[in-house]
């Protein structure tokens, strides 16, 4: 089918037929198709949208451009996906913790997209870590230890892999049909039977409003249920970075600290909420309370941290980082960011924080950019915390002092101090499942 005709149809705002959508997906998987044609259609979709039928058709078409796994992992395979945020390191906490409770977790992850971090980039900051794994090895690792976090392979949803990279550099990231089909095509292709979705909402998320987040959740749950999968979506907050660390090796270190019991707070809280749903979908707990009990036991006993070490070593990484985070890459310079007045931290411009980390080298401006795993930011205050002039608000970790000084000045502007106390940022906004939508 002529791809130009498909572009023309969506440019005019018309719904695409199943055949036209299948042609688009196959063209995306074909290396001979020019990037500019795919980019044109992505922009037309971003501007004119897709209805529920088109979105479902695109999801299935992209999944079918590659292998459709049906992994025998010795149990019901479960997965989790976040729509992306700043300091969102839940995967590295959640996957080993849930696996330590007996679940089988196949986690296919992506690289950095826009101002948000990518789990694969974070994992690759661990010395020796392999994330580009063949399907057979992924399944073998999950059967043996219960979990594996790997990069999306060229054989799994190759159409999505190409479109995912193009969206990042064509300003088409923030499209609900493209987000929903991208996420769910990978989940369907990897054979996950239980899928928990973490839909971020707020300043630092792709979804800025609760209405958009709910719409995305409805779309993805609908797609998954139509495909015969068990799906639950949580809408969680991103008014400030979820963790205090932003940057690849820094976020790995924070995840290790959480699993070691040294750090509590929103990163752990959201990980536990997601973990409850994963254990419920896997049939390993009767209710959320029982699931929470299993997760806390794995956390406090050290089983979760031990499982992370197992997973790292199974993927050729240096498991010693779980006992000594100093083995992770470290930036040459640290620059302090101090408060310039008294008050309370009222707001954190989370998107700007993500962009500042990106400017240091923690993220990509272009798809061919190379990540610096050591650089990033550490935030030492959260929304609602009291602040006095001269207090240390944050640290910039950089390998380029000039760039670091610019980042420190920008970061001070992203942290808004005001008079009077304000409440802590909200974490959970809604739960969406089949025939259920509960706003909390």
pLDDT digits (tens, 9 = 90+) for 198-222: 999 998 888 899 999 999 999 999 9
Distance CA 277, CA 163 (A): 30
Quickly count: other Cβ atoms within 10 Å of residue 42's Cβ: 23
281: pLDDT confidence band, cut at 50, 70 and 90?
very high
* pLDDT (mean) for 7-15: 97
Residue 116's pLDDT is 62
Lowest mean pLDDT, pick from 5-14, 141-150, 182-191, 314-323? 182-191
Residue 287's pLDDT is 95
CA 279-255-285 angle, to 5 degrees, is 10
- Answer whether 25's CB lies under 8 Å from 61's CB: yes
* pLDDT (mean) for 157-165: 90
Residue 364's pLDDT is 76
Q: Which of 104, 167, 245, 364 is catalytic?
A: 167
Residue 148's pLDDT is 96
160 tagged catalytic: yes
Residue 153's pLDDT is 73
112 has a pLDDT exceeding 80: no
CA 176-347-429 angle, to 5 degrees, is 45
CA 84-404-365 angle, to 5 degrees, is 40
76: pLDDT confidence band, cut at 50, 70 and 90?
very high
List, in order, residues 6 or more apart from 83 with CB less than 8 Å away: 179, 183, 197, 198, 199, 200, 205, 206, 207, 216
Q: Sign (positive/negative) of CA torsion 221, 224, 229, 233?
A: negative
Q: Would you call 143 exposed, middle or buried from its count of C-beta atoms within 10 A (0-12, 13-18, 19+)?
A: middle
Residue 244's pLDDT is 97
Residue 268's pLDDT is 97
H or E segment and range at residue 414: helix 401-414
Q: Which of 160, 168, 198, 372 is catalytic?
A: 160
Distance CA 31, CA 33 (A): 5
Q: Which of 125, 153, 181, 182 is catalytic?
A: 182
Per-residue pLDDT reduced to its tens digit, 46-72: 999 999 899 999 999 999 999 898 888
Residue 113's pLDDT is 58
List, in order, residues 6 or more apart from 92 with CB less than 8 Å away: 119, 122, 123, 149, 251, 252, 255, 256, 308
380 has a pLDDT exceeding 80: yes
Q: Which of 186, 187, 200, 397 is catalytic?
A: 186
Residue 117's pLDDT is 65
The mean of the pLDDT values for the chain is: 93
391 tagged catalytic: no
Residue 271's pLDDT is 97
Sheet holding 415-418, edge to edge: 386-387, 343-348, 415-418
Please spell the DSSP secondary structure of 158-210, one letter per residue: HHHHHHHHHHHTTT----HHHHHHHHHHHHHHHT-SEEEEEEEESTTSSB-SH
172's tokens: 């088409």
Lowest mean pLDDT, pick from 106-115, 139-148, 363-372, 380-389? 106-115
Eight-state DSSP code of residue 348? E
145's tokens: 């230890």
Residue 292's pLDDT is 98
Report helix, strand or coil for 243.
coil
* pLDDT (mean) for 265-276: 97
- Answer whether 127's CB lies under 8 Å from 318's CB: yes
Q: Which residue has the tokens 């999950």?
A: 142
282: pLDDT confidence band, cut at 50, 70 and 90?
very high
Distance CA 232, CA 278 (A): 9
* Length of the chain in terms of residues written: 440
Q: Which of 81, 229, 230, 307 is catalytic?
A: 81
Distance CA 314, CA 140 (A): 10
* pLDDT (mean) for 410-419: 97
114 has a pLDDT exceeding 60: no
Residue 152's pLDDT is 75
| Pick from 217, 175, 215, 182: nearest CA to 199 | 217
154 has a pLDDT exceeding 70: no
* Helical axes 288-301 vs 303-314, angle rounded to 10°: 70
2 has a pLDDT exceeding 70: yes
Distance of CA 298 to the CA centre of its chain: 23
pTM: 0.90
Residue 108's pLDDT is 82
Q: Sign (positive/negative) of CA torsion 63, 237, 257, 252?
A: positive
45 has a pLDDT exceeding 80: yes
305 has a pLDDT exceeding 70: yes
């Amino acid at each position: 089918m002529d791809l130009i005709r498909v572009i023309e149809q969506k440019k005019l705002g018309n719904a695409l037929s199943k055949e036209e959508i299948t042609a688009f997906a196959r063209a995306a998987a074909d290396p001979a198709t020019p990037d500019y044609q795919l980019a044109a259609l992505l922009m037309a979709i971003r501007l004119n949208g897709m209805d529920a039928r088109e979105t479902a058709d695109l999801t299935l078409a992209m999944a079918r451009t590659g292998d459709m796994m049906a992994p025998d992992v010795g149990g019901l395979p479960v997965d989790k996906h976040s729509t992306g945020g700043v300091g969102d390191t839940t995967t590295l906490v959640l996957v080993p913790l849930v696996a330590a409770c007996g679940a089988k977790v196949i986690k296919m992850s992506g690289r950095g997209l826009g101002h948000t971090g990518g789990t694969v980039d974070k994992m690759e900051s661990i010395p020796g870590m392999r994330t580009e794994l063949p399907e057979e090895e992924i399944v073998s690792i999950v059967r043996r230890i219960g979990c594996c976090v790997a990069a999306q392979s060229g054989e799994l949803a190759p159409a999505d892999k190409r479109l995912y990279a193009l969206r990042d550099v064509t300003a088409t990231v923030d499209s609900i049909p493209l987000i929903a089909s991208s996420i769910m095509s990978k989940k369907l292709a990897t054979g996950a039977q239980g899928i928990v979705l973490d839909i971020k909402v707020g300043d630092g998320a792709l979804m800025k409003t609760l209405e958009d987040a709910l719409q995305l959740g409805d779309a993805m749950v609908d797609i998954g249920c139509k495909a015969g999968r068990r799906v639950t979506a949580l809408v969680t907050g991103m008014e400030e970075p979820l963790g205090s660390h932003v940057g690849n090796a820094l976020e790995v270190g924070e995840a290790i600290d959480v699993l070691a019991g040294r750090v509590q707070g929103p990163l752990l809280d959201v990980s536990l909420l997601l973990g409850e749903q994963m254990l419920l979908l896997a049939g390993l707990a009767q209710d959320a309370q029982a699931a929470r009990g299993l997760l806390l036991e794995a956390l406090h006993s050290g089983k979760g941290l031990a499982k992370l070490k197992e997973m790292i070593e199974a993927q050729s990484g240096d498991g010693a980082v779980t006992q000594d985070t100093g083995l992770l890459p470290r930036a040459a310079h640290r620059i302090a960011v101090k408060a310039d007045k008294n008050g309370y931290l009222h707001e954190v411009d989370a998107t700007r924080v993500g962009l500042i980390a990106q400017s240091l080298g923690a993220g990509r401006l272009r798809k061919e950019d190379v990540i610096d795993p050591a650089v990033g930011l550490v935030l030492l205050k959260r929304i609602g915390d009291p602040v006095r002039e001269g207090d240390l608000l944050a640290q910039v970790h950089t390998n380029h002092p000039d760039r670091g000084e610019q980042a420190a000045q920008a970061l001070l502007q992203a942290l808004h101090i005001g008079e009077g106390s304000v409440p802590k940022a909200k974490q959970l906004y809604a739960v969406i499942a089949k025939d259920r939508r509960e706003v909390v």
